[in-house]
């Protein structure tokens, strides 16, 4: 098995439309390791859904190569390609269940296509219903299931073919927050216990934070930043990553009600060990200058506990520079929030 179970090399995808040629993907290079949980995040229209569909060649790239387990899928004949596709399952935002089949019938469907004997298929479907905690709904039809239950059936169906990879295309976007959390926990358990590689397409940063270890940020059909989720959280290098990790308006209510100027603003990031160090309080006492905390939180990001604050330094430029020096001298990592990030 190749170290990189999925490798996209120079992938470009163009569409011919009435208005002319549209370039949906531009020179995508992406490597995903076996057993990883890898997120691909972008705003609507960024190209993320087109990108995920190139992985199993539901969309044929205009240029480039798509490698699965070291083998170029684009060089395979249809029969061989279909065999490879059985190792790449997919779950969708709208579940895509067969309405005329009950839960166990939906799970059996890919097994039937693969020629698995009926009794064996039913036995495996029953086992998978236990995995997704739905054994009591085996004979319920999709119309009788909640959104979360439908997605659990879809996950069980995705597991039926013993996949090496599961592609999740906005798999929780149609669900409420509580159900989303439960589905993400289930997917994480599948990734960790079964070693199945997850590729997660989403526009929701909370999904990335809860489920993924690595992430690629896509904008206008290009990967603009990629790496470990915790590292990009701490040090986003691009405007696109900053907007996705810290959406505009996250602390606007606090800012709008504050009478303090916000022209000297910093974003301070802590790890779990340093989050409660009183550095800022000590700085206020030592320099005798105020600091306004506009936003603060603690959360788990890519299996690491991280804290962040958005703070406003003193109005006086000279004092603000002293405050920045104090933070730097005490090992506090921060980034300055530029005016263009405040749109």
pLDDT of res. 1: 45
Degrees to nearest 5, angle at CA 203 with 198 and 205: 80
- The pTM (predicted TM-score) of the whole model is 0.81
pLDDT of res. 217: 93
Helix locations, the chain, DSSP H:
48-55, 78-85, 103-113, 118-131, 147-159, 177-194, 205-211, 229-234, 239-245, 252-257, 279-287, 317-329
Superfamily for 4-236? P-loop containing nucleotide triphosphate hydrolases (3.40.50.300)
Q: How far apart are CA 221 and CA 223, in angstroms?
A: 7
pLDDT of res. 128: 94
**Beta strand 4-17 with 20-33: parallel, antiparallel or unpaired?**
antiparallel
pLDDT of res. 138: 93
Q: Which residues of the chain have pLDDT under 70?
A: 1-2, 247-263, 271-277, 298-300, 302-305, 338-343
Q: 4-236 and 246-342 share one CATH topology?
A: no
Considering the four listed CATH numbers 3.90.25.10, 1.10.1060.10, 3.30.70.260, 1.10.3720.10, the one that applies to the domain covering 246-342 is 3.30.70.260
Helix locations, 86-235, DSSP H:
103-113, 118-131, 147-159, 177-194, 205-211, 229-234
Residues 58/50, Cβ–Cβ less than 8 Å: no
Going from N- to C-terminal start, the domains of the chain cover 4-236, 246-342
Query: For the chain, first and last CA: distance in Å?
Result: 47
Q: How far apart are CA 162 and CA 181, in angstroms?
A: 24
Please report, for residues 49, 50, 67, 265, 338, the alpha-carbon distance to residue 37 in angstroms, rounded to integers and kept in the order given. Answer: 17, 19, 18, 34, 32
**Beta strand 165-169 with 88-92: parallel, antiparallel or unpaired?**
parallel
pLDDT of res. 66: 94
């Amino acid at each position: 098995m190749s170290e990189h179970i999925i490798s996209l090399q120079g992938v470009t995808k163009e569409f011919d439309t009435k208005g002319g040629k549209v370039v949906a993907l531009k020179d995508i290079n992406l490597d995903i390791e076996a057993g990883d949980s890898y997120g691909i995040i972008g705003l609507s229209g960024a190209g993320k859904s087109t990108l995920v569909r190139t992985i199993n060649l539901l969309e044929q790239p205009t240029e480039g190569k798509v490698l699965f387990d070291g083998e170029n899928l684009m060089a395979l004949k249809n029969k061989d390609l279909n065999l490879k596709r059985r190792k790449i399952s997919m779950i969708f935002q709208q579940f895509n269940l067969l309405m005329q089949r009950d839960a166990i019938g939906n799970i059996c469907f890919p097994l039937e296509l693969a020629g698995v004997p009926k009794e064996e298929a039913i036995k495996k479907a029953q086992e998978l219903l236990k995995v997704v905690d739905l054994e009591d709904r085996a004979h319920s039809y999709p119309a009788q299931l909640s959104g979360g239950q439908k997605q659990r059936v879809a996950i069980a169906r995705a597991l039926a073919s013993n996949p090496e990879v599961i592609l999740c295309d906005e798999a929780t976007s149609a669900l409420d927050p509580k159900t989303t959390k439960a589905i993400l926990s289930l997917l994480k358990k599948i990734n960790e216990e079964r070693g199945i590689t997850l590729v997660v397409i989403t526009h929701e940063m909370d999904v990335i934070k809860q489920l993924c270890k690595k992430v690629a940020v896509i904008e206008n059909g290009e990967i603009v930043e990629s790496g470990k989720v915790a590292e990009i959280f701490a040090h986003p290098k691009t405007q696109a990553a900053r907007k996705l990790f810290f959406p505009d308006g996250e602390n606007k209510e606090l800012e709008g009600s504050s009478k303090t100027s916000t022209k000297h603003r910093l974003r301070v990031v802590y790890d779990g060990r340093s989050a409660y160090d009183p550095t800022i309080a000590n700085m206020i006492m030592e320099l005798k200058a105020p600091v306004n905390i506009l936003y603060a939180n603690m959360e788990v990001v890519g299996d690491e506990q991280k804290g962040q604050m958005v703070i406003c330094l003193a109005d006086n430029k000279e004092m603000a520079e002293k405050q920045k020096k104090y933070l730097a001298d005490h090992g506090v990592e921060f980034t300055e929030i530029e005016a263009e990030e405040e749109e």
